[in-house]
Amino acid sequence: MNDRILVFYGSYRSDRMGIRLAEFLVERLRRRGDAVELIDAKAVNLPMLDRMYKEYPSGKAPESLEQLAGKIHDADGFVFVTGEYSWGVQPGLKNLTDHFLEEWFWRPAAIASYSAGRFSGARAATAWHGTLSEMGMVVVSSTIAVGPIAQTLAADGAPTGPGGEALEKAFPRFADDLTWWVEAAKMQRQRKKPPY
C-alpha cells in the first residue's frame, strides 16, 4: 500500500483537544501501512494570507511555503481534521489551505471533525466539504465526527468510553473509503495526464 497521506490540523489554541483526533488518525493510518505525516497549522505558522504560493516568482516563496507545497504536491491523499468554531471552520486551518490551489488538484480528501459538544463539528465538516471540492479535491463520503472529544479520546489519544468505541468502529470504513479513492486517483493520474 504505502500511500502518502497528509493529515492537516488547524487549531492554534493553547489547550488543543483536537490534536488527539489528529494523532489517532495518523497512528491508525500508519498501522494500515500508509506513509502519514501530520501537518499542524500552528507548527507551520504561516502568516495570514497575503500572497498565495503560486503568486511568488519561481524560487522566491518563503521556505515554509516551498516545503509544504512540495509535500502537498507529492501526497496521494489528504485528511482534514477540523474543529467547529461558532458553526464554522477553524481560521488556522483555512488560512493554511488557502495558501495553495493547484497543489491540491486531482487527489481525494477525507474530513474528520470534532467539538466539545454533541454535534461533533458536523457543521464545520459540511462547510469544508464544499471548500475542498472547490479547491480541486474529491471529498470522500465517509466522515468521522467526534464529540464530546474529551470523553472520546484520552489525553494520550487512546479511545475511551462509548464515543471511543464508536470511533474505533467508524475508522475502518473511513480509511477504506479514502484508500479506494487514493488508489483510483493514482491509477488515473498514471493513465492520463490531468486536463489542467
Q: Read off the CATH number of the domain in which 136 is found.
A: 3.40.50.360
pLDDT band at 177 (very low <50, low <70, confident <90, very high): very high
Q: For 20-31, what is the mean pLDDT?
A: 98
Q: Comparing C-alpha atoms, which of 11, 5, 7, 36 is closest to residue 93?
A: 11
Would you state the cell numbers that stand for residue 25, as one nine-digit string?
A: 488518525
**Cis amide prior to 148 (ω within 30 degrees):** yes
Own/partner pairs for 190-194, CB < 8 Å, 24+ apart? 194/105, 194/106
Q: For 31-36, what is the mean pLDDT?
A: 97
Instruction: Tell me the pLDDT tens digit for each residue of 94-133.
Output: 999 999 999 999 999 999 999 999 899 999 999 999 999 9
Quote the pLDDT of residue 1: 58
Domain range holding 51?
4-191
Instruction: Tell me the pLDDT tens digit for each residue of 61-92.
Output: 999 999 999 999 999 999 999 999 888 899 99
Report if residue 29 sits inside a domain.
Answer: yes
Question: How many domains is the chain partitioned into structurally?
Answer: 1
Report if residue 196 sits inside a domain.
Answer: no
Give me the percent of the chain exceeding a pLDDT of 70. 99
| 127 touches 93 (CB < 8 A) | no
Cell 479547491 belongs to 135
Model-level pTM?
A: 0.95
